[in-house]
Amino acid sequence: MSTDFQQRRIGIVGYGEVGRILGEDLRARGHAVAAYDLCQDTLQGAVMREHAQSHGVTLAADYDALAERSDLIISAVTANQTESVARAVGIRPGAIFLDLNSASPGAKQRAAAAIAAAGGRYVEGAVMTSVPPFRIAVPLLVGGPHARDALPELQQLGFAAEYASDEPGVASATKMCRSIIIKGLESLVIESFSAARAYGVEDAVIDSLRETFPELDWEKQGSYFFQRVIQHGRRRAEELREVANTVRDCGLLPLSATAIARRMDWMADLADQGLFGQRGEPRHARSADWRVEADRLITHVKDNS
């Protein structure tokens, strides 16, 4: 460890997949990490409690207890909690609040105002791709009036942070507009591949896609898209509703974003019903073949028609 190392006191709001990954990586770098999640004391919070204990992360009793011990607070909750967390966290004056949530520019601006009113330093963060492969080094756009000053510290912590703008909402707008394409592609693949499977033409469809887009491994990508939506469809649907707000706020009808959100919600409902296996089952224990999941969808639709 370098001699100029300085331990940071970091609080994480939201101890789901992203929060736990950040907790692991920050603890591995020697920082003091605390976390708070609304579900941590419930039955479903057992995974959070076990993870926190095994990685040396302290679970705070509430927002105030977390804020009291944190010089940097990272908000990693679902999109619809973005503003409520910013209002509730009770941040210490001068502390940094890094908002990683997938929310609309308007929601980010209102969160920034809430943190500023409490004396905190708000930094907007837009996570530009899936966290698990990159972990803390996931590409991150940061913005807001304190982003430039906070950038060196965030990079020192391990974030692959890049400055976007002094204005809150610019980084989020970039992510939201990108999400129409990325989440839209997930939705399109699930619909196209499942329908193709139902008609027995999936190989012909994939062969045609390879000719048009030879740089993509459509078999591998299809399985990845299915599994990501099965695991995180609800969170994706919430993000797409924020995307719809983003599109609506600039005067356009969010026809695509709204439809994608419905598809994600539908997949999440089926996952909750156990169609794709038990919740919390390790990813490696489930099928890596998109055809298995498509067959489940087709059978479900036929049985309920």
Structure confidence at residue 4 (pLDDT): 53
Structure confidence at residue 276 (pLDDT): 93
Q: Which residue, chain included where needed, has tokens 């695991």?
A: 231
pLDDT in tens, 256-288: 999 999 999 999 999 999 999 875 555 444 568
Residue 44 pLDDT class (50, 70, 90 cuts): confident
Which residues 6+ apart lie within 8 Å of 217 measured at CB?
Answer: none
Residue 83 pLDDT class (50, 70, 90 cuts): very high
Distance of CA 89 to the CA centre of its chain: 20
**Per the CATH hierarchy, to which homologous superfamily does domain 172-303 belong?**
N-(1-d-carboxylethyl)-l-norvaline Dehydrogenase; domain 2 (1.10.1040.10)
Structure confidence at residue 280 (pLDDT): 55
Mean pLDDT, range 129-152, rounded to an integer: 96
Percent of the chain with pLDDT over 90: 92
Residue 175 pLDDT class (50, 70, 90 cuts): very high
Largest CA distance in the chain: 67
Mean pLDDT, range 90-95, rounded to an integer: 95
Average pLDDT score over the chain: 94
pLDDT in tens, 210-230: 999 999 999 999 999 999 999
Q: Which CATH number fits domain 9-168: 3.40.640.10, 3.40.50.720, 3.30.930.10, 3.10.330.10?
A: 3.40.50.720
Q: What is the DSSP-derived secondary structure letter of residue 5?
A: -
Q: What are the start and end residues of each CATH 3.40.50.720 domain in the chain?
A: 9-168
Q: State yes or no: pLDDT of 5 exceeds 90.
A: no
Q: What are the start and end residues of each CATH 1.10.1040.10 domain in the chain?
A: 172-303
pLDDT in tens, 9-23: 999 999 999 999 999
235-265 exposure pattern, b = at least 16 Cβ within 10 A, e = fewer:
bbbbbbbbbbbbbeeeeeebebbeebbebbb
Structure confidence at residue 6 (pLDDT): 83
Structure confidence at residue 281 (pLDDT): 55
Mean pLDDT, range 179-185, rounded to an integer: 97
What the block records as the tokens of 130 is 């899936």
d(CA 126, CA 129): 9
Q: State yes or no: pLDDT of 231 exceeds 50.
A: yes
d(CA 126, CA 166): 14
The H or E element that residue 245 is part of is: helix 218-249
Structure confidence at residue 141 (pLDDT): 98
pLDDT in tens, 245-255: 999 999 999 99
Give burial (CB, 10 Å; 0-12/13-18/19+) of 5.
Answer: exposed
